[in-house]
Amino acid sequence: MERIAKIEPLAYTFLKHEGLEMAERIGLALKEHAKYGDLAFDKFHLPRFGFGGRLSYFSFADSLTYCYGGLDSLIAEYPDLEAQFREVREKLLVLNDARRCYRDERVKALDSSKACWGGGWGGHANPDFGRIVNIGTDGIREIIAECKKRDNPDSDWFYRACEYTLDALDIIGARYHDIAVAKAAEESDPKIKKYYEDAARAFEVVPKKPAYDFTSAVHAFWMIFTGDGYDSPGRFDQYMARAWEITEDKDAARDILERLWDSFHDTRSWNLCLSGSDENWCDESNELTYEILRIAREKKYQTPNITLRVHRNTPEKLWDAIAETLASGIGMPALYNDEVVCPALEKIGIPPCDSHDYCMNGCNQIDIMGKSHMGLEDGEVGFAKCLEYALYNGVNPMNGNEESLKTGDMRQAETYEEVENAFFRHLEHMIYTSCNAANNDQHFRAVYSPNPLRSCLIEGCLEKGRDYKNGGPLYGHGQVLAETATDAGDSLWAIKKLVFTEKKYTMAELIDALDANFEGYDELYRDFKNCEKFGNDIPEVDGSTAKLVNRFFKVLKRHRTYRGGVYTGGCSTYERAASYGMSLGALPNGKKRGESLVADSIAATPGCDTHGPTSLIKSVLKYDHVEAGSGFVFQNKFDKKLFNTEKGRESFKALAKAFFAGGGQQYTVTVVSPEDLLDALENPDRHRDLIVRVGGYSDYFVDLDRGLQENVIARTNIEL
């Protein structure tokens, strides 16, 4: 096994110390890997590494995990070690299998049917990368030394794991110094040579000590960010502000910031959050905020996701920069309203001093920067599928399987309340199922997936002597997302009006028509298809959908997370909108089986809002946004020709400010020419750089599947 120790140091060291606690084994493995693992500067001359070999890797989501696909190449290269490699593989697979046993067949079936899911991955979070940048590993060791003095029984192994991990970072930093010195010596290009000389100088100091300028700060940040697994940078303009301010050579700072932006894009990094307010509502935007917006509109990348926090004291200068950046067509920044998000977080027990430190990770999950493990999207619930279960007495009409509760034969329903109550029973059952599955997953990850790296970077872990996955962070709330809510709301409204108020049809006739995909029911189809829809400022219709979502929020908060918090809700379909549509049969809102078009946010089902932007905003404000503890995505499409005028941008700012003043949480727009979208469907090669907003992120339009493309095109086109 000694040869394997250097070929696969991560896996070998982890398995060698089988008698120790899991976190300590991982810490030792990370330290050993740091000595022998591959290190490299990326093509933008920044230090990029990962804790991983061919048999195992360490990631923020899964901790130490078996790496599928590497065994054959190792055996081909070292045939005499085949038996030992296979032994390592079998032991690592036991660990992988242990993490999967939380999911029973019932949960898998509901996930397959797009009714709900819960757990299944470790999720995003926002570690405080500023600890490495601003106090260094030595500063974190000082925190550990103080925390060891506290009464944290049986935590010695935990602190050893964290110290081994810090040692690993220092070893990697020292190796990068030597690599940079060697590369500088052999480089003939003066510009590239200086990059390596700057890196060598930086790694004489970081990561052990605080960064001394922006160049050294970026090297420290990118080293730890890539080693952590390319998650979300979080409040980058805040924890990097000190380094930016003390840097005299701003041209050099701008150069490395642009190279960092290229690296973010090259690695598909997630969510970077800008600006915001402190607990006294003072604006926290700074010079770095504006530099990042400038780079974003000049580079015109679809990644990383950029979110920007606004509030009562956001300066007009920043609003102008927001509009200018959106006009570039990248669909960013997404805007979040501190006046709603902070009170929402305070309602679940997070004090203002921390609620105002929120940021987004992943697509748009809400986290507290460096203080929580709660923004990971624990599950989803499909509202329209719950309605199908209600109409079909717990049976999924798409496969004929009984998948939910028996709530009665709705063909015999005599009142609307019977239908609505059946829907709510299925909705609450799916909420319970999602939260329960997520909690089981959280439990297994607490046992089998400790993360001493993140435990060093999130407040509460060192203080409590508890791992990041096991209740260490200050806040451990959860987030379950609502999907296809407006489709369900429109359907229930149509049932209420056409069946029980006007009595034009019976429930039996409606269900027969749904079974037939409306074939042979032309008049019924027209009536249900053309019935009033959410998004047009019709109070009774909007109230139908808002009632469902507000109930969802209320029920979620009854459930506690394994991590030690409560569940809250949000809405972001990511790229899944089209697949949710395809999983549904015919619906009473006029959707037919096989159609993929369903709501991709809290706004109207695409194409159903016909009364303009003001009416749509009034409808969306019927929800109680302060109850949403995760991203509550509201997105529109603006015509590029109109937006790129002074009047257009002023109108956008007025619209966004009115939405936020009315209690809206989040606002996202795509600025694009409708003609370009239509042409891109038929001539994708002409539009490779066309970017649109999807669910909670931006992406190239031509890379989306056809269903998502149609969803984006159908979304409201606002004429300012």
Higher pLDDT, 610 or 254: 254
Query: Would the pLDDT of 472 be above 80?
Result: yes
Q: Dihedral of the CA atoms 680, 299, 712, 533 (nearest 10)?
A: -150
Higher pLDDT, 557 or 682: 557
pLDDT digits (tens, 9 = 90+) for 152-168: 888 999 999 999 999 99
Please give the angle made by the CA atoms of 268, 365 and 258, to the nearest 5 degrees. Answer: 35
Return d(Cα 702, Cα 684) in angstroms, integer. 6
Q: What is the pLDDT of residue 123?
A: 83
Q: Record the pTM.
A: 0.93
Query: Would the pLDDT of 711 be above 90?
Result: no
Return d(Cα 685, Cα 688) in angstroms, integer. 6
Rounded to the nearest 10 degrees, what angle do helices 416-448 and 539-556 cross at?
A: 40
Query: Would the pLDDT of 718 be above 60?
Result: no
Q: Delimit the domains of the chain by residue range.
A: 2-118, 379-631
Return d(Cα 286, Cα 279) in angstroms, integer. 17
Ranges of beta strands (E only) in 216-315 are: 271-275, 305-310
> In this structure, what token pair is assigned to residue 91?
């032991």
pLDDT digits (tens, 9 = 90+) for 191-241: 999 999 999 999 999 999 999 999 999 999 999 999 999 999 999 999 999
Return d(Cα 392, Cα 398) in angstroms, integer. 11
Backbone angles phi, psi at 312, to 5 degrees: -60, -25
Query: Would the pLDDT of 715 be above 60?
Result: no
Higher pLDDT, 716 or 481: 481
Non-local CB neighbours of 653 within 8 Å, separated by 6+ positions:
319, 322, 323
Answer whether 49's CB lies under 8 Å from 68's CB: no
Q: Could you tell me whether strands 379-382 and 63-66 are parallel, antiparallel, or unpaired per DSSP bridges?
A: unpaired
Cα 301 to Cα 304, 306, 562, 634, distances in angstroms: 8, 11, 38, 22
> In this structure, what token pair is assigned to residue 155?
């935590």
185-213 burial code (b ≥16 CB/10 A, e <16): eebeeeeeeebbbbbbbbbbbbbbebbbb
Phi-psi region of 361 (alpha: psi -120 to 50; beta: other; left: phi over 0): beta
Q: What is the pLDDT of residue 120?
A: 85
For residue 420, the Cα-to-chain-centroid distance in whole angstroms is 32
Return d(Cα 208, Cα 200) in angstroms, integer. 14
Return d(Cα 367, Cα 359) in angstroms, integer. 5
Q: What is the pLDDT of residue 717?
A: 53
